[in-house]
A and B are shown apart, each in its own frame.
Chain A
């Protein structure tokens, strides 16, 4: 690839091996000033490694890096930062016990240990940055009290404040709602005009045409193509990413819906702001739970799973009144919950795939009190095959797998419990298109087997495509319900925004 005239970053023939695995193989990429360059590829295609090479976290085995026309002999994180390279990751890397303003100040303020801190200026800088990106976050909040999307906005604000010339956005939108995405895009366009070159990674193919100028497709560590975004159709991009055609994106097949397996009546939980929840979930049904971030969807899931027990109202499982006051109780009632933040709550990174898979069924795989290791490996092996989890073996610690595959292990644990009801919180967040289609196919299959699925998703096409029914939440309660035929993006959004006159519903 020839050196482009205004390239702020030029990677040429970058290769990188990890042990026997070839993560990158002769990848070249040019980023121009004021360009938004989308980088797409399945999980494991080499996107993360490429990003780490640009930020200096990893050294390439071969190839060269040029920043603003100068070759970098040896890149490292502090050098790349001095050169104006900033990265915003999917998993925010902030200090949980410091405030928002302090976190931003740590990125921006130079100087030694003895300098005097201007608290007022710190706060005003942070406030200014948030104003710029239109985010409503208090500078005095502690990071630990913020949601993941909010933390991401803090990261973006910090990068903004550092006057980055090259900004890497690693799946910044995967946890954001529509309004926040639009906000982010507005900010990106603003940065574009200032001449910032941006590498934008996303699995949401439909948003790329809105923001990207060019797109580079990686597959198995190789650069498949770099195209102008206007010339790249969604189907073509997906074909290049996976190397094959994907048939249907949302293969929800109609299955006969059975009895009501879960019913709630006027459920309240003051601690999480959940109130007057009335819902019904039937066997073989996928109930989509839509709403904006903060509408109370995950909080409702936590109530139903006994993490924050309800303080009034009733829950019926198979028409029997039950009290779900701990996850252990929920598991016994046949409820499974795959949480949103899988890195923190899903899998145990130190433990191998097999042990993670059986963690919720340890008693069941014990014979006379003793764990049956042969059976454990059989169950884990079967689920690895069923979910097509990419792992060297069932003895591999889960921490060594890629994010998408960790997600599959989290799902495998719950499928191993053979649940009657499964709550999936953002089941496809941050997974590539191939894995996404697989998860959708699997959900359909599970529903077909009579499982009741409660799916929380912020992606409207997913909600509309996968759900038999859609319940929309706003302000801690369900404000409306739509069946598959009547649900449209506009109707769901209107309810989610709290504007619908949904008198007859809920």
Chain B
């Protein structure tokens, strides 16, 4: 099968934008590569893991805006378990299970009861978030054991480990979305749920599974984030849902479902992550990055609109 450039136009153009940005930085601010470039990838790792789940959810023509709250819950849970002296494998297992359980709740409400995912996850976003602040009263989890930070490794090794874990998860899902029957089925359900059902696919079971996977991936992302610091911020996940959805959409996944690739989301995450850091680095002013991010998202969605119009003519 020959590689079809037309089919991956969006992914290629976003990747080109990323490379162009790196090139501009290399010329205009070579010092960016001393430390910031490295940091953008470490920062991007948890985002990437969540974006993988969000890609599945959006391709299936759903949305999950509770992932930010799920992230905070998972991060605090991981911190508390580590502080209680649990061995790291137990902490990891329990955190991922907590995420999967929250995803399963979304899944039951959306797939089982047929409620619209935007309303369900808006509700669970508030429920998860407010329950956490009620239980914890906004308290940070401090005095984490040394064995927890960087998974007990040195900072350099730990940072490398985080990026490698994220890339490995990405690779698994990129492969599965193309090579597994279940991956193909997610695209089919997102394109046309009724047609998929008629073809013998079980859309409800599939959508439930996608939400559970989303939750489990949030658990992993929360772990990758919380091992980076000495304390766990109970509001670590605030606003993350929008960043994740933005990265996925910039990466070419259609918000209307059925279309999108894992590679696109990877590029979307690193592009948005790098732009923010680069703006701060270049202008020494932090308030610009959000505006630039917004402009990129609009540009991405607008290019979708134009290319669709072009196809119709």
A→B interface (CB under 8 Å): 305, 307, 326-328, 330-332, 337, 339, 344-351, 355, 359-360, 362-363, 366, 369-371, 373, 395, 413
Contacts and interface: CB of A to CB of B under 8 A. Distances in A.
B188 interface: yes
Interface string B166-205: 0000000000001111001101100110111111111000
B62 interface: no
Given A370-B179, A370-B180, A371-B184, A359 B192 contact: no
B194 A345 contact: yes
Contact of A327 (B180, B181, B185, B198): B198
Given A327-B200, A359-B199, A360-B199, A371 B192 contact: no
B259 interface: yes
Interface string B222-234: 0000000000000
Contacts of B198: 305, 307, 327, 337, 339, 345-346
Given A326-B202, A337-B198, A339-B198, A362 B185 contact: yes
A348 B192 contact: yes
A369 to B, nearest CB: 6
A11 B218 CA distance: 62
A348 B195 contact: yes
B273 interface: no
B196 A350 contact: no
Contact of A366 (B178, B181, B188): B181
A355 B199 contact: no
Nearest to B178: A371
Contacts of B192: 348-349
B252 to A, nearest CB: 14
B200 A360 contact: yes
Contacts of B201: 328, 359
Contacts of B202: 326, 328
Interface of B: 1, 4, 178-181, 184-185, 187-188, 191-192, 194-202, 258-259
| Most chain A CB atoms below 10 A, which of B4, B181, B184, B196 | B181
A360 B197 CA distance: 10
5 contacts: A332-B200, A337-B198, A347-B195, A359-B199, A359-B201
Given A362-B181, A362-B184, 4 more contacts: A307-B198, A351-B187, A359-B199, A395-B1
Given A344-B194, A345-B195, A349-B192, A330 B200 contact: yes
Contacts of A328: 200-202
Main secondary structure of the interface of B (DSSP, over half): helix
* List of 8 A-B pairs having minimum Cβ-Cβ separation, nearest first: A331-B200, A362-B181, A359-B199, A360-B199, A348-B191, A328-B200, A370-B179, A350-B191
| Most chain A CB atoms below 10 A, which of B1, B178, B192, B195 | B195
A135 B202 CA distance: 39
Given A351-B188, A371-B179, A327 B197 contact: yes
A387 to B, nearest CB: 17
Contacts of B180: 366, 369-371
Nearest to B205: A328
B272 to A, nearest CB: 26
B200 A348 contact: no
A376 to B, nearest CB: 10
B2 to A, nearest CB: 9
Contacts of A370: 179-180
Nearest to B1: A373
A489 B102 CA distance: 61
A369 B183 CA distance: 11
Contacts of A326: 202
A350 B198 CA distance: 16
Contacts of B194: 344-345
Nearest to A347: B195
B309 to A, nearest CB: 14
A327 B188 CA distance: 15
A350 B258 contact: yes
Contact of B184 (A331, A339, A355): A355
A220 B205 CA distance: 46
Contacts of B196: 348, 359
A369 B184 CA distance: 12
A232 B139 CA distance: 88
Given A337-B198, A345-B198, A363 B191 contact: no
Contacts of B178: 371
A305 B4 CA distance: 38
A351 B191 contact: yes
A328 B188 CA distance: 15
A337 B199 CA distance: 9
Contacts of A350: 191, 258-259
Contacts of B259: 350
Nearest to A360: B199
Nearest to B183: A371
Nearest to A329: B200
Contacts of A337: 198
A355 B192 CA distance: 13
A347 B194 CA distance: 10
A371 B188 CA distance: 15
Contacts of A327: 197-200
Contact of A349 (B4, B184, B191): B191
A413 B181 CA distance: 15
Contacts of A307: 197-198
A307 to B, nearest CB: 8
A348 B181 contact: no
B197 A371 contact: no
A413 B192 CA distance: 15
B188 A348 contact: yes
Given A332-B200, A344-B194, A345-B195, A363 B181 contact: yes
A337 B201 CA distance: 14
Nearest to A331: B200
Nearest to A355: B184
Contacts of A351: 187-188, 191
B59 to A, nearest CB: 11
A178 to B, nearest CB: 29
B199 A413 contact: yes
A345 B187 CA distance: 15
Contacts of B195: 344-348
Nearest to A358: B184
A239 to B, nearest CB: 36
B173 to A, nearest CB: 15
A489 B265 CA distance: 60
| Most chain B CB atoms below 10 A, which of A359, A371, A395 | A359
Nearest to B180: A369
A325 to B, nearest CB: 11
A446 to B, nearest CB: 19
Nearest to B175: A370
A395 B185 CA distance: 17
A98 B86 CA distance: 59
B51 to A, nearest CB: 22
